[in-house]
Chains A and B, each alone.
Chain A
Amino acid sequence: MGMLPLQISAKSIGGGVRGETKRRWAMVADIETCTDCMKELKKKTGNEEVKPPCVIACDRENNVPDFEEKEIDPQWMRIARFKNKFGDEFYVPLLCNHCENPPCAQVCLTQATFKRSDGIVIVDMHRCIGCRYCMIACPYGSRSYNFKDQVEGLEEVNPKVVMRTKGVVEKCTFCVHRIDEAIANGKEPEPACVEACRIYEKRSLVFGNINDPNSEISRILRESVVIQLRPHLGTDPHVYYLPKR
Chain B
Amino acid sequence: MAESLEPKKIEFSKINGSSLGYFALVGIFAFLTALGIVAYALDRMYHLSGLSNTVPWGVVNAGIPYFIGLSAGSLIVSALAGVFKIKRFKVFSRIAAFFAAAYIVAAISSIVFDIGKLDHFANAVVYFNSSSIFSWNTLFYSSYFVICALYLLVQFEEMERLTRFFACLAVFWAVLVHSGTGAIYSFIYSRELYHSALTPPMFIVCATTSGLGLLIAKLYFTFKFTRRDLEVRLLRELGLIFAGLTAVLGYMLAVEGLEKGYIPAVAPATQFVYFNPYHGIFWSFWLLVIFGIIIPFLIVVYPRTGFDPRFLSLAGVLHAAMVMAERFFLIVPGQVYPSEYLPGYEGESLHTLEGYIVSYTPTIFEWIQLVGLLSGVFLAFVVAAKLLPIIPKKAVVEE
Contacts and interface: CB of A to CB of B under 8 A. Distances in A.
Given A165-B117, A167-B117, 18 more contacts: A50-B350, A70-B351, A71-B53, A73-B351, A73-B352, A80-B355, A107-B133, A110-B124, A110-B127, A111-B129, A127-B123, A128-B117, A129-B120, A135-B53, A139-B339, A143-B53, A147-B52, A229-B342
**4 smallest A-B Cβ distances: which pairs?**
A130-B116, A167-B116, A139-B190, A71-B52
B123 A229 contact: no
B341 A230 contact: yes
Interface in A137-185: 137-141, 143-148, 165-169
Interface in A102-145: 103, 106-112, 126-133, 135-141, 143-145
Contact of B120 (A48, A111, A128): A128
B21 interface: no
B132 interface: yes
B350 A81 contact: yes
Interface residues of A, number: 58
Contacts, number: 167
A82 B346 contact: yes
Contacts of A109: 123-124, 129, 132, 134-135, 138
13 contacts: A70-B353, A72-B52, A79-B350, A80-B350, A81-B347, A82-B347, A84-B344, A109-B132, A132-B116, A136-B188, A141-B352, A146-B116, A147-B52
A137 B188 contact: yes
Interface residues of B, number: 52
B283 interface: no
Q: Report which residue of B117, B340, B344 has the largest number of chain A beta carbons within 10 angstroms of its beta carbon.
A: B117
Interface of B: 44, 47, 51-54, 56-57, 111, 114-117, 120-121, 123-124, 126-127, 129, 131-135, 138, 184, 188-191, 194, 334-335, 339-355, 358
Contacts of B188: 107, 136-137
A80 B189 contact: no
Interface string A184-203: 00000000000000000000
Contacts of B351: 49, 51, 55, 70, 73, 75, 78-79
A132 B56 contact: yes
Contact of A108 (B51, B53, B129): B129
A17 interface: no
Contacts of B346: 82-84
Choose among B52, B114, B134, B350 the residue with the greatest number of A CB atoms under 10 Å from its CB. B350
Contacts of B131: 106-107
A136 B57 contact: yes
Given A94-B349, A109-B138, A145 B116 contact: yes
